[in-house]
Amino acid sequence: MELKNEKAVDSDVVSRDVYSAFWEHFLEQCEGEDERVPRLPPDYSEKEWQAVGRVWLKGYLDHNIIPVRLSTAFILACYKGVSSVDEELLMMSFARFLSVTERASVEKALKGNMDETDGKDLLDLFSRMGSHCLPTKDNLRTAILTMAHKALLQEPKVIIDCFYSSIHNAVPMLKTKDSIMELYESKRATNRKVAQMIKPSREILNPHEQSALNHLLRYVRSTD
């Protein structure tokens, strides 16, 4: 895209829409639920993945935009290297990568209170990840960590390396795991954050306008 002398009522709206449309389309090609991880399509080379990494960086530098549905563990690895992802973050990102049913089964299994249905769901998950039997109770956490490492870091390693070449140390404020986690949490949409962004175009509203604004804010605060 090329934007020359962009002009809009609220300034950077056009380019923000372009970034949003890009990431919406990109995330459709990824795998996962609440957090997603890109996979290698046959028509993408290192050149294309490096370009995607530069889009990530430029969107952040231009408008403080980041695709928060990309796995936190994946992005930390892209910025600081795979070795920077500790077990705690890996388990958290993997839980968000899984479906709600799979996530619940893993949580129950780790607590030692899963039933027969949870066991079947867990076996389905292990099968999908390439293992056809459940580990023992003592080895369960280690097996899940191995599975998480494979899904979030090993399989997209080529992509991580390409992103790393584009964004490594490019943003000085993102020096640590905590700074990246804080950035992600600040960008995750909540009812309250969205409601706070809705501002009328002028300070004094007539009764009908105020009523409409109140209804809109009430809707935003109550929606899922």
The half-sphere exposure of 200 on its side-chain side, counting CA atoms within 13 A, is: 14
Based on the fold, state whether residues 179 and 216 are members of the same structural domain.
no
In one letter, which amino acid is 204? Answer: I
Based on the fold, state whether residues 177 and 199 are members of the same structural domain.
no
> For the packed helices 140-149 and 87-97, what is the interaxial angle rounded to 10 degrees?
70
Q: Can you give the pLDDT of all 224 residues of the chain as single tens digits?
A: 666 666 655 566 778 888 889 999 999 989 999 999 998 877 888 899 999 999 999 988 888 888 889 999 998 998 888 998 999 999 999 999 999 988 988 888 888 887 878 788 888 888 888 877 778 888 889 999 999 999 999 999 999 999 998 888 787 777 778 888 888 888 888 899 899 989 898 889 999 999 999 999 999 999 88
Based on the fold, state whether residues 63 and 150 are members of the same structural domain.
yes
Based on the fold, state whether residues 55 and 2 are members of the same structural domain.
yes
Based on the fold, state whether residues 1 and 84 are members of the same structural domain.
yes
Based on the fold, state whether residues 213 and 151 are members of the same structural domain.
no
Based on the fold, state whether residues 159 and 207 are members of the same structural domain.
no
Q: How confident is the model at residue 218, as a pLDDT?
A: 95
Q: How confident is the model at residue 43, as a pLDDT?
A: 81
Based on the fold, state whether residues 50 and 88 are members of the same structural domain.
yes
φ, ψ at 36 (rounded to 5°): -125, 155
Q: Which of 162, 158, 147, 151 is nearest to 40 (CA)?
A: 158
> What residue numbers bound the domain in which 65 lies?
1-188
pLDDT tens digits, 5-63: 666 555 667 788 888 899 999 999 899 999 999 988 778 888 999 999 999 999 888 88
Based on the fold, state whether residues 174 and 203 are members of the same structural domain.
no
**How many structural domains does the chain have?**
2
Q: How confident is the model at residue 8, as a pLDDT?
A: 56
Based on the fold, state whether residues 200 and 148 are members of the same structural domain.
no
Helix or strand run (H / E) with residue 30: strand 30-32
d(CA 25, CA 30): 10
pTM of the predicted protein model: 0.81
